[in-house]
Amino acid sequence: MSIDRDNLLQRARGFMESRILLSLADLRIVDALAEGPASAADLARSLQCSVRGMVVLLDAATALGVLAKAGETYSAPPETQEALGSASSRSMLPMLLHMGNMWRRWDRLTDVVRTGKPAGDGGGVPMDIESFIGAMHVIAGRAADEFAAIVSPITEKRLLDVGGASGTYAAAMLRICPDLTATIFDQHAVVPMAQRRMAELGLSDRATVVGGDFLVDPLPEGHDLALVSAIIHSLSYDENLRLFGNLRRAMVTGGRVLVRDHVMEPGKTAPRPGAIFAVNMLVGTCGGTCYTLAEITDILARTGFGRAKLIYDDQQMTGVVQAVAE
């Protein structure tokens, strides 16, 4: 095996541009520029920062093409306001704030490897769950439509979306299958968000939202189709057994379950995005990881689901495993 030393150093330096963007988000600089251009001194004063620090950060953000500079004043172009301003319905700011919290956990990776214990919140910035769910909806929109096409034809009548957030994936499936109804199950705090989303999409008459803990509370019964999207990686093996055992009781025999997540190759060194994401689960959870097809199949088989097969293979968190309730 040969090592490209320049490439290795470039990867090691990759944190620099990332940290610039995350600090831009942490300090809400784009929001501070929403009313118009400002000098570094003005921004430093309003955001309680040092002038030197603000100048260097703003210049770096301008070099990255995120901000614009004219003389001694800085501005956030409309494209930046849409992407990173909190007033935008398409804002990615909540995701960047989430990544900032991830940064603080990842910074403790060495200690996590030594102790085997997750890093906790790392003193992170508290997340606005509503904004985060909204950002996830923006990012997931296109992926949800692609997913709905992958799992079609949908001949089932009642969908249970476990941990479905505001229902982005359920909505995509409802749109292409007019005979389908859906139950979206997530934390109680998420219920009003999902209800609003379904109302905005004109799907309230076909979608019910139920709050609870899918590891503890019984899931609504009588469904012949279930979706578990981007959930299993956050749970340990035993927790997944509890989840799918709970799910089996909510499904009719012969019903179909769809598991969307990273699907690792047997050695777990590929796909690379999954191997890296497993580190995120190491620092952030007590037992979460990315699973192989064999492991997912075993979890399903032990909880009453058979005929598991990979129906869509991908490098990202978009692999799809299908099984049948027996």
CB 252 within 8 A of CB 305: no
Q: At 162, is the secondary structure helix, strand, or coil?
A: strand
DSSP state of 125: P
State the fold for domain 129-325. Answer: Rossmann fold (3.40.50)
- Going residue by residue through the chain, which has 326 residues, state the pLDDT in tens, using 9 for 90 and above: 888 999 999 999 999 999 999 999 999 999 999 999 999 999 999 999 999 999 999 999 999 999 999 999 999 999 999 999 999 888 899 889 888 888 999 999 999 999 999 998 655 656 567 767 776 777 787 899 999 999 999 999 999 999 999 999 999 999 999 999 999 999 999 999 999 999 999 999 999 999 999 999 999 999 999 999 999 999 999 999 999 999 999 999 999 999 999 999 999 999 999 999 999 999 999 999 999 999 999 999 999 999 999 999 999 999 999 999 99
- Cis? peptide before 153, omega within 30° of 0: yes
pLDDT of residue 128: 64
CATH code for 5-85?
1.10.10.10
24 CB-near residues (< 8 Å, 6+ apart): 30, 57, 61, 66, 84, 96
57 CB-near residues (< 8 Å, 6+ apart): 20, 23, 24, 27, 29
CB 144 within 8 A of CB 166: no
5: left (phi over 0), alpha (psi -120 to 50) or beta: alpha
DSSP state of 233: G
Q: How far apart are CA 204 and CA 80, in angstroms?
A: 33
Tell which residue, 225, 141, 139, 143, has the closest CA to residue 177. 225
Q: How far apart are CA 162 and CA 19, in angstroms?
A: 34
pLDDT of residue 57: 98
pLDDT of residue 107: 95
Domain ranges for the chain: 5-85, 129-325
Q: How far apart are CA 66 and CA 21, in angstroms?
A: 9
